[in-house]
Amino acid sequence: MTRLWALTSREFSSFFRTPLGWVVLALFLCLSSVLFVGRTLVPGEAASMRDFFAGWLALLLFIAPAVSMRLFAEELRTGTIEPLLTAPVREGSIVAAKYIAAVLFLITMLIPSAVYVLILDSLSRPDFGPILSGYLGLLLLGMLYLSVGTLVSVLTSSQTLAFLGTLFALLILDVGPRQAAPSLPRPFDEILLQASPSQRIPYFASGLIDTAHVAFFLLASLWFLVLAAVILQSRRWR
């Protein structure tokens, strides 16, 4: 556990030692501010952040690859992955440490958006239940996207390829089922739609926390992380 925490702390701090981490953080805050003003502060409409959360779905498609692309790709490029693989640390712990650091960075990006809730509260009387569950849904979706990014980052030493590969994988994972579902007969169309992660977010945004949806995100994230650990282990024995 001590080694896991040490690796996680090292990885998390590395986000703030490079310009990329600050650029991603600043870009996320700027775009989320535009979303809040354009989709939430609408005169004459009820105080709700549902449209705001919907806008974040597209934002996460690009933010998650930007955060995860360097997790392994940079170390593979520079060769610093070799000392890490020869250290007395399991591959699963290495993957977990880098993934947890990425999730913590995502949470760091989400925290400043709490000011939007305060602004909304000062202007009206919003229902905080859907807001809190909406944030939970975004966090779970971000965790799934980051797990996909972690897997792709293990496969290449190029950050550019890791970014593009993750973006392509997320589009296939998320948009693919929604595009293919209308061409299928019932009930196969509904089954395929449930495979699209973003289709589950409206439930959270409306205040409904279903354990089935939570389990879907957690188990899917775990599956991609296990694959990443297996691939990393294969590199140890090359």
Domain boundaries, given as residue ranges, for the chain: 2-236
- The yes-or-no verdict on residue 77 having pLDDT over 90 is no
Tokens of 192: 């395929």
Amino acid 116: pLDDT: 82
Q: HSE of 70 in the Cβ direction (CA atoms, 13 Å)?
A: 17
Of 7-11, 24-28, 54-58, the range with the lowest mean pLDDT is: 54-58
Rounded Cα distance between 151 and 19, Å, is 23
| Percent of the chain predicted with pLDDT > 70 | 87
CB atoms within 10 A of CB 1: 6
User: How large is the average pLDDT for residues 109-120?
Assistant: 84
Residues 71/81, Cβ–Cβ less than 8 Å: no
Tell me which residue has tokens 């003003």.
Answer: 37
Amino acid 215: pLDDT: 93
Amino acid 180: pLDDT: 67
Residue 54 — very low, low, confident or very high, per pLDDT cuts 50/70/90?
Answer: confident
pLDDT per position as a tens digit, 174-222:
877 776 666 666 776 677 677 778 788 888 878 888 888 899 999 999 9
| Percent of the chain predicted with pLDDT > 90 | 25
DSSP 31-60: HHHHHHHHHT--TTS-S--HHHHHHHHHHH
Q: Which SS3 state, helix, strand or coil, does residue 101 take?
A: helix
Rounded Cα distance between 122 and 211, Å, is 32
DSSP 158-174: -HHHHHHHHHHHHIIII
Amino acid 236: pLDDT: 65
| Cα-based distances in Å from 81 to 7, 46, 86, 144, 165 | 13, 51, 9, 24, 20
CB atoms within 10 A of CB 148: 27
